[in-house]
Structure 1
């Protein structure tokens, strides 16, 4: 589904946080039959951040919001909606969004979590833009946070090398004179859900028994094939609908699933890797947190500037995806 409805919203501030503990490729060599060379060759990953035993998704999200407040002098007291994208909430309920509301004592706000796995943060931006553009909200806090290490099987060499923990938060505010959301596209292929899942209340999918006992199960080959086929086509449609070309995009920011996957998508879509922001090398695949973490790195490394045109693209379990063209509205540091 393509959307080019004129926006009345922009991203105005960002904050990020990752746990202190690093899980290196050398550490993984002690856990499973793998090697630094094998991991780097296939994923581009060198480290991931791992949450503490009593450190959960809400804690990471709160730290990311605190970073946003401190860095940009913002306050969140007048936020009228909190959206948290996560597949690893502290509890099935209450939501992480409600825990954030309580922590910051925001007196009058809506709050909910959404689960679109690795596409979650982009979906959160899409929803925030729609609600503000419609006039229903004025200031929305969109957060992507995960503690994937808590649902990773560290005896499975195919998945344990991939996942890390982290969080990122942005403010999306009303702005009719300088809006930031230019176009978006969404799509879903539920038939591929069997290739990436966590088992839950149901113990079968399409008549097949589910595995994992609550941990992530992934058919990496099938997910890879779907992503490198789906994203270039989605990017082409998105740019055509926006009346733009790849030359109009300052930064491509895909979900940081795997650096080799990103390289393949860039090659097929016509983006150079040096104009791509990613967080995968030293943070791993952080699902809904990966795009804001990549944006945060771009800001700190002084790559990302106010007014830059970005193409964000989230994709993941479902299988589902969402892309958008955004004018960066965050002031330079």
Structure 2
């Protein structure tokens, strides 16, 4: 028998404050228009963290909701992996702060830094640790406060991002060892540091302050996104002997509506089988995939046994995909 990491629960958290495209001028002095942003990105609004909100606080809120849906107490968790580019501090990790907040006193916790691909990376790490018996119950969290590292004078980047957190609970279960199993079937991770400068922060960063602002060469990132995401999804399907027609849901990183639409068409999926939150959440970096998953699962859209593709690309460049059966 094969040990699989089963998705037992999903949860999300979004800050209360919502800033629409039209509200950007009033909130931050951004000279832009709703039509200009929607046409290029599909974004209509974003959530912005309150002054006292941090990556750990939002991540803990998402984690509690995921645990509640899994029917598990925080004490059952023996691994916490947090994907974030906006940690509370250089150390201790955001993960250990969340570990304490949920009441987990055993096991271990650490952060993963892979920008917008961070959740897929964290999922891969947690899956590997469950498969090898180092953990039995893992929390995988993406949490970001990107509003603190944006250059609010740069219209080309600041309109793209929002704040939020998403979490999944993984538990170890026995499977048959083939593609019919529930849980994480495989993860496929890549990076190419030659392109690190096309999406980066020009200094340190932290959700409680910090120095450094996000810089992005948007056209270059877009060009890499379409080709690399298509290739890694094909890689994941081939590794499991599956075809595009087997995929029930695409849960992509929510960076840009055009990229999401292109990937849906690549898989031959109707629009109703592609989970889209970018219009309401904007790009929440490592939090975007678990937030989208939590929303779809919370609405009862994803049914037990449905095959899902989770994929994303981010600064590094990093990119990756995961195949999972709900």
RMSD: 1.8
Name 1:287's counterpart in structure 2: 285
- Work out the number of aligned pairs and report it: 314
User: Displacement of 1:262 after TM fit?
Assistant: 1.1
Partners of 2:319 and 2:51 lie apart in 1 by 31
Q: Are the equivalent residues in 2 in contact too, given 1:7–1:129 (CA < 8 A)?
A: no
Name 1:218's counterpart in structure 2: 216
Q: Structure 1 residues 70, 172: closer, same or farther in 2, change over 3 A?
A: closer
Structure 1: tracts of 5 or more residues without a match: 1-5, 202-211, 329-333
Name 2:183's counterpart in structure 1: 180
Report the TM-score when normalising by structure 1.
0.90
Name 1:9's counterpart in structure 2: 5
Q: Are the equivalent residues in 1 in contact too, given 2:203–2:213 (CA < 8 A)?
A: no
Partners of 2:90 and 2:276 lie apart in 1 by 30
Q: Select between 301-310 and 64-73 the one with higher mean Cα deviation.
A: 64-73
Partners of 1:278 and 1:48 lie apart in 2 by 14
Please state whether the residue corresponding to 2:109 is helix, strand or coil: strand
Q: Are the equivalent residues in 2 in contact too, given 1:278–1:290 (CA < 8 A)?
A: no
Structure 2: tracts of 5 or more residues without a match: 176-180, 205-209
Name 2:242's counterpart in structure 1: 244
User: Displacement of 1:251 after TM fit?
Assistant: 0.1
Name 1:204's counterpart in structure 2: none
User: Displacement of 1:7 after TM fit?
Assistant: 4.9
Partners of 2:136 and 2:273 lie apart in 1 by 32
Name 2:324's counterpart in structure 1: 326
1:20 to 13, 16, 21: 16
Q: Structure 1 residues 186, 71: closer, same or farther in 2, change over 3 A?
A: closer
Residue by residue, what CA displacement relative to the aligned partner does 1:188-238 show, whole Å, maximum 9, x if unpaired? Answer: 12111110000237xxxxxxxxxx960110011000000011111221222
User: Displacement of 1:263 after TM fit?
Assistant: 1.3
Partners of 1:274 and 1:161 lie apart in 2 by 26
Partners of 1:114 and 1:102 lie apart in 2 by 18
Partners of 1:171 and 1:94 lie apart in 2 by 22
Partners of 2:251 and 2:275 lie apart in 1 by 5
Q: Structure 1 residues 77, 195: closer, same or farther in 2, change over 3 A?
A: same
User: Displacement of 1:179 after TM fit?
Assistant: 4.3
